[in-house]
Amino acid sequence: MISVEKSIGLLETMTSYATTTARAEMSEIRRLKGLLPPELQSWVMVEKSLEVNPSLIRSEEIGKDQVEVSIDLARWEQLALDQRNLLFWHEVARIQNDTIPRDGWEMAALAIGLGGAVGELWVQDGLLLVLALALCGVSGYRLYQKNNGERNLKEAIEADDKAIVLATRFGYSLPNAYKSLGSALKTLIEETPKKRQRAKYEARLQAIKRSAAKAKARVKGSRETSRSENIYN
């Protein structure tokens, strides 16, 4: 049997570990809030995810003028600092581009619209039937947009490009910004078992490589132009 002294010592160790972990998590949350552009700090919240099997990082509109970025801190802390920064700025870019999920009203609206359509067929009210079908159409189209893989990938790539810009705004050089985001995507590819999600990360990585190559060519061309101008001055 475990003695009382050992039990107390074990409890103290567990309590100390929990306290240290909580402090580390709060410190990371505060650090990430500091990476928000000033124009977002008043209405974007950064929180630890409390979901079961959560996404690594996810943004969601939780009110009329409020967005929450939730993070699986257990997995998050396993990434390098620069990787975390660029993945966070990717999420910030999605907020700025207005491509984050809404409150999830589409399914409710679709159910109401279908229910209304059935009801109006029963009472034979043409105008209300048209309105119910219109509601079904709008909500159905929004659900299609939300689940359109090609569109979602395009939005993710656009957010990656904007994350690079945000990184340079916070002091990263352009090469380091591309390197850090590329490294983060490589890690996600290695850790993602689902083929569909892994393919999305791979497509984003290829897009980042193309974008980095174009940026490098632009810088090289600019330097050569500047050198030529200096020769003739």
Please tell me the predicted confidence (pLDDT) of residue 145.
Answer: 52
Tens-place pLDDT, residues 105-120: 444 444 444 444 444 4
CA distance 202 to 175: 20
Low-confidence ranges of the chain (pLDDT < 50): 1, 105-123, 125, 139, 143-144, 231-232
CB distance 87 to 191 below 8 Å: no
Residue-level pLDDT at 197: 92
How far apart CA 30 and CA 35 sit, in angstroms, is: 9
pTM for the predicted model, two decimal places = 0.74
